[in-house]
């Protein structure tokens, strides 16, 4: 869960998240889930926010059935695929969700 203040303080990052979702043509449910995940797992370090944003978009799309590849999400978020690969599992556990069993 996040505070309303987090949303206001991170407006620039939320705009970046929306642009990333636009590049991926994500649906409303995936965008909403990604936003909730991002705000609920915000790192304090500014330099870690882009990785969290990318992982949030990946997981949000995954959970909502609007899957995109890690590479596509990484390119849209301007991070490396390895960044998404390393961060998404940690993020999903931090948010209290279960990882998919493929």
Task: Summarize pLDDT for 56-74 with one digit per residue, the tens.
Answer: 999 999 999 998 999 999 9
* Residue written as token pair 């505070």: 3
Burial of residue 96 (number of CB atoms within 10 Å: 0-12, 13-18, 19+) = exposed
For the chain, which residues make up each domain, given as ranges?
4-94
Split at pLDDT 50, 70, 90, the class of 102 is low
Per-residue model confidence (pLDDT) at position 19 = 98
> Could you read off the pLDDT of 32-55 as tens digits, one per residue?
999 999 999 988 888 899 999 999
pTM as predicted = 0.90
Choosing among 1.10.472.10, 3.40.50.1100, 3.10.180.10, 1.10.10.60, the CATH entry for 4-94 is 1.10.472.10
CA-nearest of 64, 63, 62, 65 to 73 is 62
| 36, burial (CB in 10 Å: exposed 0-12, middle 13-18, buried 19+) | middle
């Amino acid at each position: 869960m996040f505070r309303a203040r987090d949303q206001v303080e991170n407006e620039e990052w939320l705009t970046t998240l929306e642009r990333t979702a636009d590049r991926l043509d994500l649906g409303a449910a995936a965008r909403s889930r990604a936003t909730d995940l991002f705000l609920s797992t915000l790192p304090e370090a500014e330099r870690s926010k882009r990785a969290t944003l990318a992982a949030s978009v990946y997981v949000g799309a995954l959970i909502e059935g609007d899957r995109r590849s890690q590479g596509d999400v990484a390119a849209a978020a301007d991070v490396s695929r390895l960044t998404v690969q390393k961060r998404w599992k940690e993020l999903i556990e931090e948010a209290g969700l279960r990882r998919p069993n493929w």
